[in-house]
A and B are shown apart, each in its own frame.
Chain A
Amino acid sequence: MDQELQTHTAAPPHSAEKRAGISEAAQLQKGQTIGSRTIEFSRADLIRYAAASGDHNPIHWNERFATEVGLEGVIAHGMLTMGAAVGLAADWAGDPGRVVDYQTRFTKPVPVPDAAEGSPETPTTALEVIGTVGKVDAEANTARIDLTVELVDGEERTKVLTKVQAVVVLD
């Protein structure tokens, strides 16, 4: 559906018929990776998120306003970054409804510059999301998936969210 997503999951891709990503709690080990994903943002993505969420704060679409309040430029909604990052855990779970708890701290802004040329849909920002098993609760039959969310700028990587934890109900 989304050509901008490149996903590598440790388990076979899910389908509606089979939730292949989830194994029994006993088979999961702390520290085990569930996969990684690159997420790209364009200015058009910020406008789409503003419309879908109702968050029309101009720091997410107006360069002049953003710089006037002390930012280097337009930044992504923290909730867009948080919302996009959890897709890795939801897809691994095989059912987004299995994500029963999800939290994060917003630590660094995610700048989304205007594309220098071409379509405003041209991505100008890339994030890498890596998921690992943080904790397994066999009694509750849940796994805590810890996500690392980094802004990728050439060789440089900056962690933009911290304590990104999604609790997923297992089979």
Chain B
Amino acid sequence: MTINTAREGHTYPGIDYQVSREAIMEFASAVKAGHPAHVDPEAAAGLGHPDLIAPPTFAVVIAQRAEAAVINDPGAGIDFSRVVHAEERFTHHAPITAGENLTAATTLERIRLMGAGAMVTTVTEINDGAGTPRATVTSTLLVRADAEGEQ
């Protein structure tokens, strides 16, 4: 499998994501986020939020669904069985809130070849229904060369 650097800059078809209170509460519990704004609508309202807000890294749940397009793209030539998560970054324009309908689309931003492996950076833009940017998720994966040292 050869990584195709010509795929750099390609934006994949987006996905839709409905943010539910249940998904926020389950995720908050999983990351041990004890803030009441994740579980108590009144506490969230007290901070000026229209409904429960998601923990800062919840955006990864949405982003990973959009990033799946890269994984499933044979044209990119990335063997995801040899991938290690190297870096992650979230930039929030507004907190992700229960009841919202969001979209997410991933761009294969950068492929940096390193010997037989590569560093692959994807950027996923999460927007609201009106197309207003809500969050940007940047993920960098290290694709290792396989055990046989295939070039």
CA distance A100 to B47 in the complex (A): 15
* B34 lies within 8 A of A1 (CB): yes
Proximity bits, A13-51, B CB within 8 Å = 1, else 0: 000110000000000000000000001000001001101
* A102 lies within 8 A of B56 (CB): yes
Contacts of B38 in A (CB 8 A): 96
* B60 lies within 8 A of A96 (CB): no
Proximity bits, B110-151, A CB within 8 Å = 1, else 0: 000000000000000000000000000010000000000000
| Chain B min CB distance to A64 (Å) | 16
* A103 lies within 8 A of B30 (CB): no
Contacts of B37 in A (CB 8 A): 16, 95-97
Contacts of B90 in A (CB 8 A): 101-103
* A103 lies within 8 A of B89 (CB): yes
A147 on interface, CB distance cutoff 8 Å: no
How many A-B residue pairs lie within 8 Å, measured between CB atoms? 124
B contact face: mostly helix, strand, loop, or mixed: mixed
| Chain B min CB distance to A148 (Å) | 17
Most buried by B among A53, A101, A166: A53
- Mark out the residues of chain A between 92 and 120 whose CB falls within 8 Å of any chain B CB in the assembled complex: 94-97, 99-106
| Contact pick for B32, options A53, A87, A104, A106, CB 8 Å | A87
B95 on interface, CB distance cutoff 8 Å: yes
Contacts of A17 in B (CB 8 A): 46
Contacts of A166 in B (CB 8 A): 56
B26 on interface, CB distance cutoff 8 Å: yes
A160 on interface, CB distance cutoff 8 Å: no
A154 on interface, CB distance cutoff 8 Å: no
A133 on interface, CB distance cutoff 8 Å: no
Proximity bits, B1-37, A CB within 8 Å = 1, else 0: 0000000000000000000000100110111111111
Contacts of A54 in B (CB 8 A): 61, 64-65
Contacts of A2 in B (CB 8 A): 32, 34
* A86 lies within 8 A of B61 (CB): no
CA distance A17 to B47 in the complex (A): 8
- Mark out the residues of chain B between 33 and 87 whose CB falls within 8 Å of any chain A CB in the assembled complex: 33-39, 42-43, 46-47, 49, 53-57, 60-61, 64-65, 84-87
* A102 lies within 8 A of B30 (CB): no
* B30 lies within 8 A of A48 (CB): yes
CA distance A4 to B34 in the complex (A): 11
A140 on interface, CB distance cutoff 8 Å: no
Chain A residues close to B by CB (< 8 Å): 1-2, 4-5, 16-17, 39, 45, 48-49, 51-55, 78-80, 82-84, 86-87, 90-91, 94-97, 99-106, 166
